[in-house]
Each structure stands twice: as structure tokens, then as C-alpha cells.
């Protein structure tokens, strides 16, 4: 028996068992065709799924969230899973209805089925306490049809939702191999007191990032926080810099202007730690144009950090003992605005210890063949950063509670 506060696959006998396996295959999609553009997360679950060869595996997964353009069914995900695993996957266009229940009851050893997007269920997206989650129809229905629950969805484990938190509280549960690896790798970084320690935040999850920045600063384990992407635009605006009407409207659409005073306070209290871009790249008549911060406001959309910024940031990253990067520096899908993201990630490969997190950022890291140059490429975006900020992820906490509730010697496994 391991000494970890949660069970791992080594602790469980999964043979001939019905296993609910929560995975995270939430991926970027082609907006026109629905085609999956990156299979990194699919590949990350291969070892766990292969380890369950003698089980009846019921996959729980999601794609995006309600009201988002890429909120859709998992039909194309089923096809991608078959391609990655090289084995048949049953796709069930149902989650807790009669069709899904009958499919699960008829499974044989070695079968794998993928249920529909769990976020189609309102119970999955309603805010409630962990104990209330155990009383949802979702959890009650599926837990009565399965023997074990395994959470391999590290990237979604910062979300307190029934598919992540509810099941471990009502049935024997463990971490999957990917989950275990993520915890091991990120714990090494979390307990690393090396200096200089540098965090790089980008992407567009401003409110989540703001919370993590405050936690990191309170923990005093950071020397520099470099800001890029929409996060940087938000902090520049909060500092009192007019970034242009179009870019301010973008912040309004993301619903982040209410956090302006918080960001302003952080900048005032940490002038030497928070590093903002010195120049930016805008899209002018369809082309890239780098402009100095003093040239703002601009009537054009900001799409990347400027050349001077990524040269400056790359130097700071290379000089770091440990660097953690989360989120792209711009619209990296467009070649002219990919330079900031690419150069920052390449610089991470030269730091002594480097961790890259975030779905999109991780995808670029794989594309640049950085697997052997960086210490760890995490599947988690918000999850990896919240973990590194010292927060206990709801998904991991639920697994720990499960271990205390279901003692292996006392249950028939």
C-alpha cells in the first residue's frame, strides 16, 4: 500500500470491474468543420487506458462549456480516441438515460465506451457543495452501475464539479497514471526554493490568473512575473494606459474590467516583480506592426507582444533557476503573431528547470519538439498554475477523502 494520501492504480484490482474513468480531452476545434486540431490530451491518457485492458471502461469527458462556440458533442472525440488508441471505442449519445445505462450493463471486459459531453448535464455546471454533488442524479445513477472511479483528468481537477468531485465521495477511487505523473512533477517545482523563480502568464483567463498571481505573491516564492497576452493587456489598462477602444472592448467582452482595482493594487505593491511588455504587435491592414507602449492608444487589435519584449523576457527566462509558463503570448495560430509565444517557450528550454502548462501552450511546446528540453509539459492550464500557487485542487482533495472513506482491506476489490 502506498503512503500517498490518495490511491493509485497500483492499489486497485481493476480486472473485470466497471470503471468510470474521467479524462480531459477538451481540445481546440476548427470552428467551421469541428475537426480536432490537436491530439495532445488524447495521447496523454493512453497509458492509463491501456492499464485497464481487463476492465469495462466508461469514459467521462467534456468539451468546452455552455455558451461557448466550441461547446459540442463528443462524436469527433470518439473518432480521435480510436485513432490514438488503435482500438474501437463505443460512442454513447447519452449520459444517464436508459440508453447509456443499458450500454454499460452490456459491457464485456476490454470494452471502452465514451459517454456524451458531461457538461450537457445542468448538474455538472451548477455551483454546489461536494456533499450536494453526491446527491445528484448524475453521480447516483452512474456510481450504481460501476465498481470504481479513476480520475485521470488533471487538467479539469481545479473545477469543483460532480464528475471530478462527486464520484470519489461515494465509491472507491484512485488517481490515473497521468494524474499521478502531474502531481509528482508539479510537486517537485512547488517545493523548489531555487532563485530566481519566474512565472509567465498569458492567454485570456484573466480572472483565474489574477487569483493565482495573488496566491503566488503571498507565498513569496517568485522573483519575477512576466505578463503577456490578454492578461498583459488587462494589466496595462489597469495601470492607466489607454490600449485603444477595440482592445478595451475585448476586455469588456471577457468580463474582466471589474477586477481593475485588484490589478492596480498588485502593480503598486509589487513594482519590481510584475513585468509588463515594453512593446506590442498589432494587426494593421492584416499585417504585423510592432509599436512601443508609449505609442498607445492604438486603433488596431493587439495580437502579440513586440520583438523588444520577447527578447527581454527570453533573457529573464534563460537566467531563471525555475520557470513556469502558462498561456500564449498572442494569437499564435497566425504565423505573424506566433513569435512571442514561440520565443518564450524556446527560452524555457534553456532554463535550469522549466514547466509549461496550459492546453494551447502545451500544444505549441509539442509542436516545437521541446519535450526533451523542458522539465515537464503539463496537460493542465488553470489546474497546473493553481497547483503551483499552493492551492489544493478539488479533484485531488476528493481523491484524498475517498481514500479515508473507502479502506482497501475493508472493501471487495
Residue 12: closest CA among 40, 52, 67, 64: 52
Which residues are 353's β-sheet partners?
Answer: 322
**How many whole angstroms from its chain centre is CA 124?**
17
Q: Which residue has the higher pLDDT, 188 or 254?
A: 254
Torsion of CA 310, 27, 230, 195, to 10 degrees: -50
pLDDT tier at 218, thresholds 50, 70, 90: confident
pLDDT tier at 301, thresholds 50, 70, 90: very high
Domain 9-181+393-410 classified CATH 3.50.50.60? no
346 is in an annotated binding site: no
The predicted structure's pLDDT at residue 320: 94
Choice among 197-206, 216-225, 233-242, 250-259 with the minimum mean pLDDT: 216-225
DSSP-derived letter for residue 199 is E
Please name the residue that has the C-alpha cell 466497471: 18
- pTM for the structure as a whole: 0.83
- Residues 136, 382: Cα–Cα separation, whole Å: 26
Are residues 263 and 279 in contact, defined by beta-carbon separation less than 8 angstroms?
no
405 is in an annotated binding site: no
- Please provide the DSSP assignment of 329-350 as one string: SS-TTSGGG-HHHHHHHHHHTT
Residue 182: closest CA among 52, 84, 49, 44: 44
The predicted structure's pLDDT at residue 1: 52
119 is in an annotated binding site: yes
359 is in an annotated binding site: yes
77 is in an annotated binding site: no
The predicted structure's pLDDT at residue 62: 98
Are residues 305 and 340 in contact, defined by beta-carbon separation less than 8 angstroms?
yes
- Residues 185, 197: Cα–Cα separation, whole Å: 16
pLDDT tier at 31, thresholds 50, 70, 90: confident
Residue 70: closest CA among 26, 22, 123, 120: 26
375 is in an annotated binding site: no
Residue 250's SS3 state is: helix
Strands 90-92, 287-292: parallel, antiparallel or unpaired by DSSP? unpaired
Please name the residue that has the C-alpha cell 507602449: 293
Task: Work out the average pLDDT over 201-217.
Answer: 87
Choice among 120-124, 382-386, 403-407 with the minimum mean pLDDT: 382-386
- Residues 378, 150: Cα–Cα separation, whole Å: 19
Q: Which residue has the higher pLDDT, 287 or 219?
A: 287
Are residues 321 and 196 in contact, defined by beta-carbon separation less than 8 angstroms?
yes
**How many whole angstroms from its chain centre is CA 271?**
29
User: What residue ranges of the chain are covered by domains with CATH 3.40.50.1260?
Assistant: 9-181+393-410, 195-351
| Residues 6+ positions from 253 with CB-CB distance below 8 Å | none
Task: Work out the average pLDDT over 277-294.
Answer: 97
- CB-hemisphere CA count at 13 Å for 8? 14
Task: Work out the average pLDDT over 280-292.
Answer: 96
The rounded mean pLDDT for the chain is 93
Q: How many other β-carbons are positioned within 10 Å of the β-carbon of residue 90?
A: 16
The predicted structure's pLDDT at residue 413: 47
Torsion over CA: 225, 228, 229, 230 (sign): positive
319 is in an annotated binding site: no
Please name the residue that has the C-alpha cell 465509491: 171
Torsion of CA 21, 24, 29, 34, to 10 degrees: 10
Say how many Å lie between the first and final Cα of the chain, rounded: 14
41 is in an annotated binding site: yes
Report the share of the chain in percent with pLDDT over 90: 78
- Give tens-digit pLDDT for 317-347: 999 999 999 999 999 989 999 999 999 999 9
Which residues are 283's β-sheet partners?
Answer: 288
Strand-by-strand arrangement of the 274-275 sheet? 274-275, 224-227, 197-201, 322-326, 353-357, 376-377
The predicted structure's pLDDT at residue 388: 80
Task: Work out the average pLDDT over 88-94.
Answer: 98
Residues across the chain: 413
- Give tens-digit pLDDT for 354-397: 999 876 788 889 889 898 899 999 998 889 888 887 788 999 99
Task: Work out the average pLDDT over 123-147.
Answer: 97
The predicted structure's pLDDT at residue 212: 84
The predicted structure's pLDDT at residue 409: 57
Instruction: Kindly report the backbone phi and psi dihedral angles of residue 177, in degrees, each rounded to the nearest multiple of 5, phi listed first.
Output: -65, -35
- CB-hemisphere CA count at 13 Å for 83? 11
360 is in an annotated binding site: yes
Q: How many other β-carbons are positioned within 10 Å of the β-carbon of residue 279?
A: 20
The predicted structure's pLDDT at residue 410: 46
65 is in an annotated binding site: yes
Residue 59: closest CA among 155, 150, 123: 150
DSSP-derived letter for residue 200 is E
Choice among 179-193, 278-292, 319-333 with the minimum mean pLDDT: 179-193
Residue 163: closest CA among 130, 200, 204: 130
Torsion over CA: 330, 334, 339, 345 (sign): positive
Residue 6 pLDDT more than 90? yes
202 is in an annotated binding site: no
The predicted structure's pLDDT at residue 172: 97
Are residues 328 and 345 in contact, defined by beta-carbon separation less than 8 angstroms?
no
286 is in an annotated binding site: no
pLDDT tier at 411, thresholds 50, 70, 90: very low
Superfamily of domain 195-351, CATH level 4:
Phosphoglycerate kinase, N-terminal domain (3.40.50.1260)
The predicted structure's pLDDT at residue 391: 81
- CB-hemisphere CA count at 13 Å for 381? 21
87 is in an annotated binding site: no
Amino acid at each position: 500500500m502506498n503512503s500517498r494520501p490518495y490511491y493509485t492504480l497500483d492499489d486497485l484490482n481493476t480486472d473485470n470491474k466497471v470503471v468510470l474513468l474521467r479524462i480531459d480531452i477538451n481540445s481546440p476545434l476548427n470552428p467551421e468543420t469541428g475537426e480536432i486540431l490537436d491530439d495532445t490530451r488524447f495521447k496523454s491518457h493512453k497509458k492509463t487506458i491501456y492499464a485497464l485492458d481487463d476492465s469495462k471502461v466508461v469514459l467521462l469527458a467534456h468539451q468546452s462549456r455552455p455558451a461557448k462556440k466550441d461547446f459540442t458533442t463528443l462524436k469527433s472525440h470518439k473518432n480521435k480516441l480510436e485513432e490514438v488508441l488503435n482500438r474501437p471505442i463505443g460512442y454513447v449519445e447519452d449520459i444517464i438515460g436508459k440508453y447509456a445505462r443499458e450500454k454499460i450493463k452490456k459491457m464485456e471486459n476490454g470494452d471502452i465506451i465514451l459517454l456524451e459531453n458531461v457538461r450537457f448535464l445542468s448538474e455538472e455546471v451548477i455551483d454546489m457543495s461536494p456533499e450536494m454533488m453526491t446527491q445528484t442524479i448524475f453521480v447516483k445513477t452512474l456510481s450504481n452501475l460501476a465498481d470504481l472511479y479513476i480520475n485521470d483528468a488533471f487538467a479539469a481537477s481545479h473545477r469543483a464539479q460532480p464528475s471530478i468531485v462527486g464520484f470519489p465521495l461515494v465509491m472507491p477511487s484512485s488517481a490515473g497514471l497521468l494524474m499521478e505523473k502531474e502531481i509528482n512533477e508539479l510537486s517537485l517545482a512547488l517545493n523548489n526554493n531555487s532563485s530566481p523563480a519566474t512565472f509567465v502568464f498569458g492567454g485570456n483567463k484573466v480572472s483565474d490568473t489574477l487569483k493565482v498571481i495573488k496566491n503566488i505573491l503571498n507565498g513569496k516564492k517568485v522573483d519575477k512575473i512576466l505578463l503577456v497576452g490578454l492578461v498583459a493587456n488587462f494589466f496595462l489598462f489597469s495601470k492607466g494606459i489607454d490600449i485603444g477602444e477595440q482592445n478595451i472592448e475585448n476586455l469588456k467582452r471577457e468580463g474582466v474590467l471589474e477586477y481593475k482595482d485588484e490589478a492596480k493594487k498588485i502593480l503598486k505593491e509589487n513594482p519590481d516583480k510584475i513585468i509588463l511588455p515594453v512593446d506590442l504587435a498589432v494587426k494593421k491592414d492584416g499585417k504585423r506592426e510592432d509599436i512601443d507602449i508609449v505609442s498607445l492608444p492604438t486603433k488596431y487589435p493587439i495580437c502579440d507582444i513586440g520583438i523588444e519584449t520577447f527578447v527581454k523576457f527570453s533573457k529573464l527566462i534563460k537566467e531563471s533557476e525555475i520557470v513556469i509558463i502558462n498561456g500564449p503570448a498572442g494569437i499564435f495560430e497566425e504565423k505573424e503573431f506566433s513569435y512571442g509565444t514561440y520565443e518564450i517557450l524556446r527560452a524555457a528550454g534553456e532554463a535550469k528547470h522549466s514547466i509549461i502548462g496550459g492546453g494551447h501552450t502545451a500544444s505549441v511546446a509539442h509542436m516545437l519538439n521541446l519535450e526533451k528540453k523542458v522539465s515537464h509539459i503539463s496537460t493542465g492550464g488553470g489546474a497546473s498554475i493553481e497547483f503551483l500557487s499552493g492551492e489544493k485542487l478539488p479533484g485531488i482533495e476528493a481523491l484524498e477523502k475517498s481514500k479515508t472513506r473507502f479502506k482497501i482491506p475493508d472493501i471487495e476489490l
